[in-house]
Amino acid sequence: MRRLWLVAVVAAGAAHAALFPAKGPVQQLSGSNFDKEVLKIDKPTLVAFTAPWCGHCQRLAPQYVRVATELDGVVKIANVDCEDAGSKALCAQYGIQGFPTIKAFPATKKRIPRDYQGERKAKAMLDYALDMLPPEAVRKVGAGELGKFLAKNEAQPKVVLVTPMAKTSPMYRSLALDYRGRVPFAHLYASKEGALPAAQAHIDAQLTQERVPGLYFVSSYDAEAGRARAVRYRGAMRYRFIKLWIDEQLGGDAAEAARAEREREAQAKREAAAAEEARARAKVEAMREKRDTPMDEDDETARLAQAFSGITSDEEEVEELLRQERQKRYEKRRKNEMEALLRAREQIIKEERVENANDPRTKERLMDELQSYIGDKWSARLAERAERARVAVEQALMNDPSDTKGALTRAEREMIEGLSEDQREVEEQLRAGADADGFALSDDAAEALRDHLQMLAGLIHTIQVRIEGPR
């Protein structure tokens, strides 16, 4: 099914030579660094062989970036530009004859690739990438095995996760692969009989069910005392942060590199914040200069300047300006998307030579377009709410690492509030028979919205049950 309303976006993307940002989440590879970054590591890697002029590659790019962003290093997501002179021999070596070709390099010694044949959508590629992480990278230990695991090579550093989850997470498996052969990783299922007392006896006497999960770096083990010298991780449970922490615990060059990386990230954030503040202040100053200038109705800058005329503090001016700028860009984007959708509807009706959009010959095509539009729009909204909830949990845990349950519950309640707002908005649109931009809802658009409304209700119910427990 053709997605006509995306044609303009795809055409605009074709004008750019590069498919992926140079410093983006997708790692750029060539013949010079491919062996080092793919063949000589223990981590699975997904590599897209592309050409910048290829339309299918342009459609793949945003989905592929989404996968890399979501994984955040858990699985390496990379790209090879086969039009680049330094990569032509590499593409020939792997028999690349069409674009895009996606190859999966598994976490095996020989690193023999296999072609990815799945759907080129973010979720499908994400699930495939996570399935490439071998579960055997982490050793699962029970209460009676924990001491033996720690006592083997007593001076060798080890990492132990005490968790209420029976299944080992992809992030933990990925970290284990990063240190395979150097640092053994263990997974202790805290809910299993005797597991928590064993962890208290060998690793952390202060560990309780309320303080699980607990991630520990064990630098050594005293077999006579039956106690480990362990440090508990107290940061956000994210791959990059944990990896930097482990490197710091290992000491030496790895620790120096980790500290340098932390400083680079902190400096980049400071510079970005300073640049954003400078831009905002510059806009405020420009608006001040226009306060006494006659206002043109079509001049958005002048209208904003008038709105700021009564504000007395620079900080308040900057905050209000940024809020209005974000809202303006959001509304403009929504309007453009809806106009593109309407043009797509008109084109389909014209091609089918029918006047009634609900005619069976066109209904399926229109429904596909509308489901895609509504799904993308509300999925983006849902992703934003989930990201805010994740940040809230991280901030709460930084303040009180022991209150995992409380942090999660607060974030889930905030998530319910946000989803309920979305639910009310959809209900209002259905009652009004029009979307937020004032466009009348066709029968198929209303049907798609009702489907989304059911999904929202299901999500809210699921989160409530998780908070309150079954009744």
Answer whether residue 4 shows pLDDT above 50: no
Q: Are residues 168 and 239 in the same domain?
A: yes
Q: Are residues 231 and 265 in the same domain?
A: no
Of 223, 250, 277, which marks where a domain is finished? 250
Of 132, 165, 182, which marks where a domain is finished? 132
Answer whether residue 127 shows pLDDT above 90: yes
Number of domains composing the chain: 4
Q: Is residue 58 part of a domain?
A: yes
Domain of 219, CATH number, reads 3.40.30.10
The pLDDT-based confidence of 143 (bands split at 50, 70, 90) is very high
Backbone Cα Rg of the chain: 27
In this predicted structure, what is the pLDDT of residue 458?
A: 79
CA dist 147 and 141 (Å) reads 9
- Segment among 65-79, 94-108, 293-307, 392-406 with least mean pLDDT: 293-307
pLDDT digits (tens, 9 = 90+) for 438-471: 556 667 677 777 877 887 887 888 787 777 765 4
Q: Are residues 18 and 126 in the same domain?
A: yes
Answer whether residue 311 shows pLDDT above 60: no
Q: Is residue 239 part of a domain?
A: yes
DSSP state of 108: S
Domain span holding position 163: 136-250
Q: Is residue 42 part of a domain?
A: yes
Q: Are residues 174 and 198 in the same domain?
A: yes
3-state helix, strand, coil in the chain (%, to 5): 60, 10, 30
Q: Are residues 68 and 154 in the same domain?
A: no
Q: Is residue 433 part of a domain?
A: yes
pLDDT digits (tens, 9 = 90+) for 262-290: 788 778 777 877 777 777 677 666 666 65
Q: Is residue 340 part of a domain?
A: no
Q: Are residues 66 and 81 in the same domain?
A: yes
Q: Are residues 62 and 176 in the same domain?
A: no
Tokens 């904003």, residue? 304
Q: Is residue 338 part of a domain?
A: no
Q: Are residues 16 and 121 in the same domain?
A: yes
Query: Phi/psi zone of residue 252: left (φ > 0), alpha (ψ -120 to 50 degrees), beta?
Result: left
CA dist 207 and 230 (Å) reads 12
Q: Are residues 13 and 58 in the same domain?
A: yes
Q: Angle, to 10 degrees, between the axis of helix 195-202 and the axis of helix 143-151?
A: 30
In this predicted structure, what is the pLDDT of residue 160?
A: 96
Say what the pTM is. 0.56
Q: Are residues 245 and 274 in the same domain?
A: no
CA torsion sign for 306, 310, 312, 315 is negative
Q: Are residues 52 and 15 in the same domain?
A: yes
20 touches 65 (CB < 8 A)? yes
Q: Are residues 125 and 238 in the same domain?
A: no
Q: Is residue 68 part of a domain?
A: yes
Residue that wins the pLDDT comparison between 108 and 277: 108
Q: Is residue 203 part of a domain?
A: yes
DSSP character string of 147-174? HHHHHTTTTS-EEEEEES-SSPPHHHHH
Of 132, 159, 183, which marks where a domain is finished? 132
